Structure 1
Amino acid sequence: MAAHRKAAHRKPGQRLFSGAAARSAAALALAGAATATAATGSAQAEPRRTAAQVKAEVDQLYRDAEAATERYNGAKEKATAAARSVDALRDEAARRTEQLNTARAALGSLAAAQYRAGGLDPALQLALSSDPDEYLERSSYVELAGDRQAGALSGIQRRINGISQIRARAEGESAVLAAREAELARHKKEITSSLADARRLLQTLTAAERDRYEAAQRADEAVPATGASATGSPSATASGASATPSAGAPSAPNGRAAQAVAFAYGALGKPYVWGATGPSAFDCSGLTQAAWRAAGVSLPRTTYTQINAGQRVSRARLAPGDLVFFYSGISHVGLYVGDGKMIHAPRPGAPVRVAPIDEMPFAGATRVA
């Protein structure tokens, strides 16, 4: 009876393990716990990146930011054009509305005058007139006035239709502008996110590793010291405040290219700021655009449009002033200055500098003029 009561308290379907089954269940439980602990530990203690890995990841993040910058520049150019179009259409609608109001006022005056003159039946007016000839002459004017009124009404209707069409176009352009602004915000977020990730990665380095990294960056980004070299390297101050090609540097193929190159040398040492086109800061395509603007040539804003802004040239035929492009997505551009070197705005934190064109994957070149 007692045994029956003890069994009755057990949950239905519950079985107790014993012997080999119990030992197997315990082993499985321990293995599962060990696996869970290992997984938790690996999630909490990810292997630390080496300084070389951090540098590679940071460099990639900077490239991502630069590609997003060029997309931002393109969207900004289109947003600016859409804003100008909206403003022009609104101005046109306002001008035509003013003309419409003037035409309506003139029509109102004409209608009032005609009402005052035409209150009596025409036959009665003729009968009461002391001068029938004068009446007949006046009635022809009234008929002409009626024709003019009909023409004015037709003109007003045309103006109303025209204003409606312009307002519809303005609404359409406003929608385009809103889409461009949303695109701008998206690309801006991509840029700031990549740069923030790069900063966080750099903070994972030890103080000694960070010092070595920054020293390497300074060495890479240093503007060449004053004095011409036998290879025709540029002459510049360490700050880049005053820099010109040396006497031995290759000459530009024409005066405009020479002006663009001279501008680029004058920009050495100025900071990289995404979206900037000078005069105190530049991004990569902003620098090349400003250099050629100084030579009187208008270039498009982005790398992927600048590459189509002139005649393509092979790497073997490069001349000072040519635009040189890098990476498969055409996300970076520099201004070729000869001897396998370019002047470019590298990335955030790196000033405008002279660099070999071999330091990045070459994608093509364009001769502007």
Structure 2
Amino acid sequence: MASHRRSSATPGPSRSARVTVLSAAAATAAAATAAALAAAPAGADPVRPADAPQARVDALFAEAEQATEGFNAAAERTDKLRSRVGALQDNVARGQEDINRMRDVLGQVAGVQYRSGGMDPALRLLLTSDPDGYLDRAAALDRMGEQQAGVLTELGRAQRKLDQQRAEAARTLADLERSRAAVAAHKRTVERKLAEARALLAAAPKDDREEAGRASRGDGREDLPPLAGGVSGRAAAAVAAARSAVGRPYVWGANGPDGFDCSGLMQWSYAQAGVGIPRTSQGQRGAGRHVSLSEARPGDLVTYRDDASHVAMYMGNGQVVHAPYPGAPVRYDPVGMMPVSAVTRV
């Protein structure tokens, strides 16, 4: 992706040998371009011809990464909705059990009242051979009548609550289906963009393919750069975890331990330190206090581009560790490999 790469080095002799004529106007333009690049801030988007195959591959990788973060957000929402649906369904089941139990109580009261009815209470008292026993039963029936009224009131409340829970469960289920559809749509977008990038690289000349293998967002180091001092506690644990992941593959939608996408690596690394952070790079941008790039210290999260669609962890000495893009393993790169959106201290 264009924003994933630093400007290539100044062309060497082999390229110069192919240039046979350079007009004064072209020389002036080249000098102006060089001056502009020199004045550009560290990490500025590289300058590539818009129609160059590598520029298109870069753009496809960027679009795939944006879709990956959309996939992560939709998947996270789906998981939460699935849990919510489960809880609502459990509540509905318990509510129905309560209603069934109250209906059983009402049925029992009605049965007793039915079996005791059929004659005027005063006449039954006159004819009974056990007036005291009759009065006791009558008092019990009165109490059952009061109980019946109380159960009926409670039953009405329970039924209204159950209806509300069922309606909420239905709405949440519909929301869950929409979220699942969003996950599937993002997945199709990621897969399509990656397939286009692979096809474009496969059709490119050998030199372009080799350049794609060399040129990336930065230096692409897998060796261990010196670590700046002053890091401890959970940041140190997260840094150690991120370093341990160097060399593992980029797998979109994955958050370890065998493969990672960019935000998955950050979430997994901080989880090893006992700290929970959001799943997406956009969420991670807001997961703590923002500091300036000049104040960055190991363990800080560095998000890139205006939409924060990529994230890395600062290691000190101008280096970050991150999961770059499909085909590139977790590795170290310069912090200025592309435009910085924010530096977040968790």
- Superposition TM-score, scaled by structure 2 size: 0.82
Quickly say closer, same or farther: Cα 1:218–1:107, change in 2 above 3 A. Answer: closer
> Once the 2 structures are TM-superposed, how far is the Cα of residue 161 of structure 1 from its aligned partner?
1.4
- 1:86-127 Cα distance to aligned partner (Å, 9 max, x none): 110001100111121122122212211221122322122112
Distance 1:367 1:217, change over 3 A: closer
Which residue pairs with 2:140 in the alignment? 141
SS of 2:336 mapped into structure 1? helix
Which residue is 1:352 aligned to?
A: 330
In structure 2, C-alpha distance between the alignment counterparts of 1:311 and 1:203, rounded to whole Å: 43
Q: Is the 8 A contact 2:320 2:334 kept in 1?
A: yes
Query: Is contact 1:263-1:294 (8 Å) kept?
Result: yes
Cα separation, partners in 2 of 1:55 and 1:301, compared to 1, 3 Å: same
Tell me how far 1:303 sits from its aligned partner.
1.0
Matched, 1:270 2:245: no
Deviation of 1:79 (Å)? 1.2
Identical aligned pairs, as a percentage? 44
- The alignment partner of 1:358 has SS state of coil
Task: Give the number of aligned pairs.
Answer: 299
CA contact (8 A) 2:266 2:312 kept: yes
Paired AA for residue 117 in structure 1: S
User: C-alpha distance in 2, partners of 1:308/1:329?
Assistant: 12
Secondary structure of the residue aligned to 2:314 is strand
Q: Give the aligned partner of residue 197 of structure 1.
A: 196
The one-letter amino acid of 2:179's match is R
Return the offset for 1:252. Answer: 4.3
1:125-140 to structure 2, matched below 5 A, reads 125-140=124-139
What's the CA shift for 1:139?
A: 1.3
Q: Note if 1:258 corresponds to 2:236.
A: yes
Kept after mapping to 1: 8 A contact 2:217/2:337:
no
Query: In structure 2, what is the equivalent of residue 213 of structure 1?
Result: 212
The answer for the alignment partner of 1:366 in structure 2 is 344
2-structure distance, mates of 1:51, 1:324: 27
The yes-or-no answer on 1:320 pairing with 2:287 is: no
5+ residue gaps in structure 2?
A: 1-48
Alignment map for 1:91-106 (pairs within 5 Å) = 91-106=90-105
- The answer (yes or no) to whether the contact 1:260–1:321 under 8 Å persists in 2 is yes
C-alpha contact (below 8 Å) 2:54/2:208 kept by paired residues: no
One-letter amino acid matched to 1:300: P
Give yes or no for contact 2:253–2:264 (8 Å, CA) kept in 1.
yes
Provide closer, same or farther for how the CA distance between residues 288 and 214 of structure 1 changes in structure 2, counting only shifts above 3 A: same
Who is 2:288 aligned against? 310
**Contact 2:300 2:343 (8 Å CA) reproduced:** yes
CA distance in 1, matches of 2:57, 2:229: 37
Shift of 1:212: 4.5
In the other structure, the counterpart of 1:14 is none
RMSD: 2.1
1:112 aligned counterpart, secondary structure: helix
Instruction: Provide the secondary structure at the position in 1 that maps to 2:294.
Output: helix
Q: Is 2:250–2:260's contact at 8 Å kept on the other side of the alignment?
A: yes
Partner of 1:53: 52
Shifted more, 56-65 versus 112-121: the winner is: 112-121
Q: Aligned in 2, Cα 1:301/1:218: closer, same or farther, shift over 3 Å? A: closer
Corresponding letter in the other structure for 1:263: A
Gaps of 5+ in 1: 1-49, 225-232, 235-245
1:284-324 CA distance string (max 9 Å, x none): 01101111111111101111111111110001101000001
Q: Please name the residue that 1:340 is paired with.
A: 318
SS of residue paired to 2:277: coil
Distance 1:86 1:262, change over 3 A: same
Q: CA deviation at 1:185?
A: 1.6
2:124 is matched by which residue type in structure 1? Q
2:50–2:56 Cα contact (<8 Å) kept: no
Shift of 1:157: 1.9
Higher relative contact order (CA 8 A, sep 6+): 2
Q: Which residue pairs with 1:223 in the alignment?
A: 222
- Alpha-carbon distance in 1 for matches of 2:333, 2:215: 14
| Alpha-carbon separation, structure 2, partners of 1:113 and 1:86 | 41
- After TM superposition, the structure 1 = structure 2 runs for residues 153-164 of structure 1, keeping only pairs within 5 Å, are 153-164=152-163
- Tell me the distance in 2 between the aligned counterparts of 1:272 and 1:150: 66
Q: CA deviation at 1:51?
A: 12
- Displaced runs of 4+ in structure 1, greater than 3 A? 215-222
